[in-house]
Amino acid sequence: MVQQLLELACASSRAEPASVEELIDNAAQLQLPMIDALLDAGLVQEEYFFKGLSEMVRMSLVNGELSPEDVPELKKICSAALAIRYQVVPLKLEEDVLTMVCYDPYRMEARQALSRKLPYTLRWVMGERRHVRNSLSAIYGVGADTFEKILAGRDIDADQLAEKDEASVLDDDESDEASVLRFVNQIIREALVHKATDIHIEPQSDILRIRYRVDGQLLDVPVPERINALQSSVVARLKIMSRLDVAERRMPQDGRIHLKNAGKSIDVRVATIPSVEGETVSLRLLNQEKFNLNALGLEDSVRESILEVLALSHGVILATGPTGSGKSTSLYCFLDYLNKPETRTVTIEDPVENKLRGIVQIAVRPEVGLTFAKGLRSILRADPNNIMIGEIRDTETAEIAIRASLTGHLVFSTLHTNTAIGGVSRLLDMDIEPFLVSASVRAFLGQRLVRRLCVHCAEPVKDWSEMRAKELGIPNVIYQLGGQPCGPVGCPECRHTGYQGRTAIYEICKISESIQKLIAKGSDENAVFEQAVKEGFETMRDYGWRKVMKGVTSIEEVLSCTHSQSGLDQI
């Protein structure tokens, strides 16, 4: 059996045969499941591997996602505890024959245990591991095996939870004891598998709704039935993990959880909000990622403009856009570029989302009087070269930031505006004098996040032509650069959405002498825009069209998140 499996793995492997043989030998010696070892190491192409495996063991292969014929009935026949423990999916029941799907045909103890526990004749077929695991979540819900044990009468007392505040390690399942802690960990762990940025736990009248935000889109998470019975316990567990007041249910609270998953650190920002149905909890997952200017995927023209701005010795650089548009990430990448032994960089944020090595970071604490404005005054006395302010929210902070730039500091911050040039109006609305804006601000950087097309299933747009490009408003100067727009299709790799991951699209308005004069004399936004276009300003939509022509994102994504005004059409 081992030799046959080795030959099959080598035939469908992405690695050298010696690596595959070593992995299988180690798994055999340690008595670990060899199929899991191969898949976890990413050494085989799953589709081809399971096709060959099914032929080798003479078992039928179920292609694609599994769709049980009668889910409610099958859930009663095969409990979540059994299905998830043995990694099998009940597919259909015909008379007294129950068809079960597995991905490891060599796991004989699972077959024997299920034959004893289920009063049916079992017929076994095979499926790919990813399809089996996805179907288990879809049928039973996330953490369903733990959930069933909890409802049996253990670990549902919120008062007892406070006594079990062990370290939050997501992959620490050393105890078989079912607990709300383990159930919550499974929810977070599943979110990390989906590469979610947020988890929203929202009580409804009849169920506790859980949603993940993946690539900017909200995704409903299948949950076990009767999960509303654990609503208060789940919320209490999250409050304890984030060191919030469990007894306070009438006021919003903010906290933070530090997690470890597979040896990696993950910070989670927690916000609770009281609603008429109960407390809602939002979790923002912040991976401790490394920031690098190259990771932003900047087009050459924008990269050159940003490098020119970063080379300045003083001035204000403002990143603009709505919440969740990646402004902080861009600023972190700029700070990483400027982080050198001969310079000193200090930030003041609310809260500190990511820790940067070699940079002094300060968290705002209004409850003790440490606001952006007060913290900024102290920072200036420490004589830094570069300063980052998490957000300019009021006139006082804006004035101090501007005066800091006038005294020889390079200041970075964010503003909530729809366009880069809209940052001018926003500062003037804060009662900042026009001459101060023109004298201090060196650039406004606007940005949005668009979803990347899945590289596995994206297809070229049909009937693409210059006429179609003109109808969409793609400037001729961009169309002439060549390229082929693609559109989303959907496949198992991208959860049938057609997209995987996100990238930023930008517009940067450098404040030239001509624009400074317009701002100083109080010219409106349109006048500033027209002058910027004459000097080569490219709007965010035009930048997005460049990404479309390169097949990075889709036409729909760019149209949905950018303004229709095009600067290149006016040149």
13: domain CATH number? 3.30.300.160
Q: Is residue 553 part of a domain?
A: no
Q: In CATH, what number is assigned to the domain containing residue 218?
A: 3.30.450.90
3-state SS record for 217-269: EEEECCCCCCHHHHHHHHHHHHHHHCCCCCCCCCCCEEEEEEEEECCEEEEEE
pLDDT value of residue 564:
63
Q: Is residue 506 part of a domain?
A: yes
Residue type for position 282: S
Q: Which of 88, 96, 47 is nearest to 68 (CA)?
A: 88
Does residue 25 share a domain with residue 54? yes
DSSP for 61-127?
Answer: EE-SS---S-HHHHHHHS-HHHHHHHT-EEEEEETTEEEEEES-TT-HHHHHHHHHHSSSEEEEEEE
Look at residues 120, 140, 160 and tell me which one is the last residue of a structural domain.
Answer: 140
- Per the CB < 8 A criterion, the answer to whether 284 and 268 are in contact is yes
Q: Is residue 196 part of a domain?
A: yes
Does residue 149 share a domain with residue 134? no
- CB-count exposure of residue 163 (10 Å: 0-12, 13-18, 19+): exposed
How far apart are alpha carbons 506 and 449 in whole angstroms? 9
Does residue 337 share a domain with residue 269? no
Does residue 102 share a domain with residue 89? yes
The alpha carbon of 153 is separated from its chain's Cα centroid by a whole number of angstroms, namely 35
Q: Is residue 485 part of a domain?
A: no
How far apart are alpha carbons 99 and 78 in whole angstroms? 11
Q: Is residue 554 part of a domain?
A: no
How far apart are alpha carbons 8 and 51 in whole angstroms? 10
Q: Is residue 482 part of a domain?
A: no
How far apart are alpha carbons 506 and 541 in whole angstroms? 8
Q: In CATH, what number is assigned to the domain containing residue 318?
A: 3.40.50.300
Does residue 446 share a domain with residue 332? yes
- pLDDT tens digit at each of 571 positions of the chain: 667 777 777 777 666 777 777 777 787 777 778 888 888 887 778 888 888 888 888 998 887 767 777 777 888 888 887 888 888 989 888 888 999 999 988 888 888 999 999 988 999 999 988 888 888 888 888 776 666 666 565 444 444 434 344 445 555 544 433 467 888 888 888 898 888 999 999 988 888 899 999 998 998 888 877 777 778 888 988 998 889 999 898 999 988 888 887 777 788 889 999 999 889 999 998 876 678 898 888 999 899 999 999 999 999 999 999 988 989 899 999 999 999 999 999 999 887 878 888 899 998 888 888 888 888 888 888 889 999 998 998 898 899 899 899 989 999 999 999 899 999 999 999 999 999 999 999 999 999 999 999 999 999 999 898 899 999 999 999 999 888 999 999 887 888 889 999 999 999 999 999 999 999 998 888 999 999 999 999 999 999 999 999 999 999 999 998 876 555 444 4
- CB-count exposure of residue 287 (10 Å: 0-12, 13-18, 19+): middle
Q: In total, how many domains does the chain have?
A: 3
Does residue 257 share a domain with residue 186? yes
pLDDT value of residue 245:
92
> Which residue has 């079990």 as its token pair?
164
- Per the CB < 8 A criterion, the answer to whether 436 and 407 are in contact is no
Which residues 6+ apart lie within 8 Å of 342 measured at CB? Answer: none
Does residue 127 share a domain with residue 175? no
328 DSSP 8-state letter: H
- Per the CB < 8 A criterion, the answer to whether 330 and 319 are in contact is yes
Does residue 392 share a domain with residue 369? yes
Does residue 180 share a domain with residue 114? no
Extract the tokens encoding 335. 């700070």
Extract the tokens encoding 201. 């736990």
3-state secondary structure of 456: coil
Q: Is residue 399 part of a domain?
A: yes
Structural domain that includes position 272: 144-287
How far apart are alpha carbons 271 and 294 in whole angstroms? 32
CA distances from 360 to 348, 356, 436 (A): 9, 8, 28
Q: Is residue 457 part of a domain?
A: no
Does residue 525 share a domain with residue 378? yes
- CB-count exposure of residue 95 (10 Å: 0-12, 13-18, 19+): exposed
Does residue 410 share a domain with residue 516? yes
Look at residues 287, 321, 336 and tell me which one is the last residue of a structural domain.
Answer: 287
pLDDT value of residue 67:
72
Does residue 148 share a domain with residue 258? yes
